[in-house]
Every structure is written in structure tokens, then in C-alpha cells.
Structure 1
Amino acid sequence: MKIFMKILGIAILIAIGVGFYFRLNDDVLTGDRIIGIAVLTSAFILMPVFLYVRWKGKRLKDYTLSEENLKKMRDKGID
């Protein structure tokens, strides 16, 4: 999954670069479409995959300020 994310991220960066290349060569509509598709892909495909990979196997309880976690922080001297 991490390899998929790297390949997709590089492909998105290349697509954005190609889109700007088209914009510079007087094909603004095609350049805008390529850039738009790359941005949408990064927002709706890359971001959810990234969040899934980063949060897999973690518990939200470890990162919330519950009474138990506050007590642990007080015991360790963290204020």
C-alpha cells in the first residue's frame, strides 16, 4: 500500500507539472483539466489512502484527553 501511495503521489506531481507545461504552451484548457484531475485525485484518492495507512492499528483512545490519560500525565509530571 505504501508503494501504491508513492507511485500515485509521483504521478500526481508529474500530472501537475505536465498541466503547467500545457498552460505555458498556449493550451490553457487542457492544462487546466490536467491540473484539476490531478488535484481531485490527490484529494479523493491519495488523501483517504494516506489516512488509512497512517491510522491502521491505532486506537483513538490513546490520543484523547480522558480522565485516565490525564491521570497518567499528572503522575509523570507533565502539566
Structure 2
Amino acid sequence: MKYLILFLTIAAITSIILGFSLNVHYSQKLIGFGVVAIFFVVFPLFSYQHWKGKDIKDYMLTKENLDKMRENQKRKKY
């Protein structure tokens, strides 16, 4: 999965660079496909890979997590 994401990122960035540098009638399409690939393909795959197996409640601001943060701040002050 890591190599697929890397390959797609390089392909999308290459498409954007070629769209800016080449003077062809479809250069705007190259830029558009590169941007769409980054935002609708690469970013969701990257997010899925890095969030897989983690509990979302650990990252939410619930009352328990706020209490833990306050308790940790009190301990660090001393």
C-alpha cells in the first residue's frame, strides 16, 4: 500500500508539472487530473493507511479526555 501511494503521488505531481511546462492543448486537463488524483485518491488512501487499527475515541475531545489533559498539565507544572 505504501508503494502504491508513493507511485500515485509521483504520478499526480508529474502530471501537474507536465501540465504547466508543456504547451499542448490538453495541458489544463493534465493539471486537473493531477489535482483530482491527489485529493480524491492519494489523500484518502494515505489517511486510511495511517488511521487503520486506531481507535477514533482516543482523538476526540470527550469529557474523559479533557480531564486527562488537565491532569497531565497539572503534573507537568510541578
TM-score range, shorter chain: 0.7 to 0.9
**Deviations, residues 21-75 of structure 1 (Å, cap 9, x unaligned):** 22xx3x2x31001111111111211111011012111111111121211222232
| Structure 1 segments (4+ residues) deviating >3 Å | none
With the length of structure 1 as denominator, give the TM-score of the two structures: 0.80
Match of 2:49 in 1: 53
3-state SS of 1:58 partner: coil
The alignment's TM-score, normalised by the length of structure 2, stands at 0.81
Q: Distance in 1 between matches of 2:69 and 2:33?
A: 46
Letter in 2 for 1:58: K
Paired with 1:36 and 1:42, the residues of 2 have a C-alpha distance of: 10
The CA distance in 1 between the partners of 2:71 and 2:40, in whole Å, is 42
Aligned residues: 74
RMSD, aligned CA: 1.5
User: Sequence identity of aligned pairs in percent?
Assistant: 41
Gaps in structure 2 of 5+ consecutive residues: none
2:21 corresponding residue in structure 1: 21
In structure 1, the partner of 2:71 is: 75
Once residues 14 and 71 of structure 1 are traced to their aligned partners in structure 2, the CA distance between those partners, rounded to angstroms, is 47
The amino acid of 2:19's aligned partner reads G
Counterparts of 1:42 and 1:75 in 2: how far apart (Å)?
A: 40
